[in-house]
Amino acid sequence: PIFVEKDDLYVALLSKNGRFLVVSIKEVRRLAGGGLGTILIGLDDDDKIKQVVPFGESGLAVSGIYRRRQTTDILDLNQLETYIGKRARKGRALDVRIKDFVLSRPSADEDESE
C-alpha cells in the first residue's frame, strides 16, 4: 500500500526499464476487498514497477547524483505535462540531467528553495 495525502493529485510511475508515466489520482480506485489490483502502467514482459509516488501541486522531486554531487530537482506540473497520460499506458523515458534518480514528494525545505 502507498500512503496518499489529501492534496495529492497525481501518481508518478517509474519502471525498471526507465518508462515514466504520470496519471491522475482519480484514475486509481481503492479496492476495499483487495481484489486483483489495477493496471497502473503498461509493462513489457521483462519490466517491473520500480517506484510509485503520489504527489500534488508542489510537483515531484528527482534526487540523485549529477556531476559527482547529490542533487535534487523539482519538476513542476508544467514540466511534467508531457508525461501525464491515461492509466495502463506505457509512458516514456524521463528526460532529466540526474542519473540513477529517486522520485519523491518535495520536502518543505525543497519547496521553499525553488
Looking at every residue in the chain, the average pLDDT score rounds to 85
| Strand 19-24 to 10-15 pairing | antiparallel
The per-residue pLDDT for 112 is: 47
The per-residue pLDDT for 40 is: 76
pLDDT in tens, 7-60: 999 999 999 998 899 999 888 777 676 666 677 777 888 989 899 999 999 999
Is 113's pLDDT higher than 60?
Answer: no
Q: Which residue has the higher pLDDT, 85 or 102?
A: 102
3-state per-residue secondary structure call for 10-33: EEEEEECCCEEEEEEHHHCCCCCC
Taking the whole predicted model, whether its pTM rises above 0.85 is answered as no
**DSSP 8-class letter at 106:** P
| Strand 60-66 to 10-15 pairing | unpaired
Domain boundaries, given as residue ranges, for the chain: 10-113
Query: In the chain, what percentage of residues exceed pLDDT 90?
Result: 50
